[in-house]
Amino acid sequence: MATASPAQGKAPEKKKRRGRREPLPKTLEEFLQWNPEGGFKYEWNNGALERSVKMITPRQLYLVYRLAGILEKVKPKAGGRLICEVQNRTSDTQIRVPDIAYYTNKEISQAAEGDFQPVTSFAIEIISEHDKINTVQTKIEEYFQAGVKVIWLIFPEFQKVYVYTGPEKVAICKGDAICSGEAAIPGFSISATELFRKS
């Protein structure tokens, strides 16, 4: 039986090779030197690489705007900024990356000079359907062990904020209830209604 030949003048198509993926880090030292790509956030937890979806999307910008506005009004003595997704060395074997966190002017300057890795006093996580409750609770414990003073878990879908001032000390803010970050930044507070206002 005769076999079909390729159309005259056309070379057989070659399969395209997929680009090689950069190897994932296997040690804390490799993790600290790694520059990941893609729409994910990576954290290091006792020798294991943990991946989650990045949360600061265009739909969350209004939250960053509201929070930055509060900081500008209260003008903390230590100065500083609210910054998105910076590595925090919460222990010798753990690196966590809060969605938003507060850093003083001194911490920002120290970090710019070398290997100093600040641990924020105020960590903010924006919670979505991608977050696992056990992972979130574990991170809360880690943050407080590392010296964090206040943690906010923001739930945009439900317009609620869980304000933690200790692993078992939590206030749930909704509507006109005041969300406070004063344990870390004196004067830093906003109602849930105002925080979730989009205009």
Domain definitions of the chain by residue range: 57-195
User: Which CATH code, of 3.40.50.300, 3.40.50.970, 3.30.70.3340, 3.90.1570.10, is assigned to 57-195?
Assistant: 3.90.1570.10
Please tell me the predicted confidence (pLDDT) of residue 20. Answer: 57
Query: Which tokens hold the place of 104?
Result: 């003083």
Please tell me the predicted confidence (pLDDT) of residue 36. Answer: 61
Query: Which tokens hold the place of 116?
Result: 């100093």
pTM of the predicted model as reported, rounded to 2 decimal places = 0.74
Please tell me the predicted confidence (pLDDT) of residue 22. Answer: 66
Cα 95 from Cα 44, distance rounded (Å) = 5
Chunk the chain into consecutive blocks of 10 residues (it has 199) and report each block's average pLDDT, rounded to whole numbers: 44 49 70 60 61 67 95 95 89 86 94 83 92 90 96 96 97 98 97 94
Assign 71 to helix, strand or coil. helix
Cα 75 from Cα 143, distance rounded (Å) = 25
Please tell me the predicted confidence (pLDDT) of residue 194. Answer: 97
Whether residue 142 contacts residue 116, with contact meaning beta carbons closer than 8 Å, is answered with: no
Please tell me the predicted confidence (pLDDT) of residue 64. Answer: 94
Whether residue 130 contacts residue 53, with contact meaning beta carbons closer than 8 Å, is answered with: yes
| Alpha-helical segments (H) within the chain | 28-33, 61-74, 105-113, 133-145, 192-195
Whether residue 58 contacts residue 177, with contact meaning beta carbons closer than 8 Å, is answered with: no
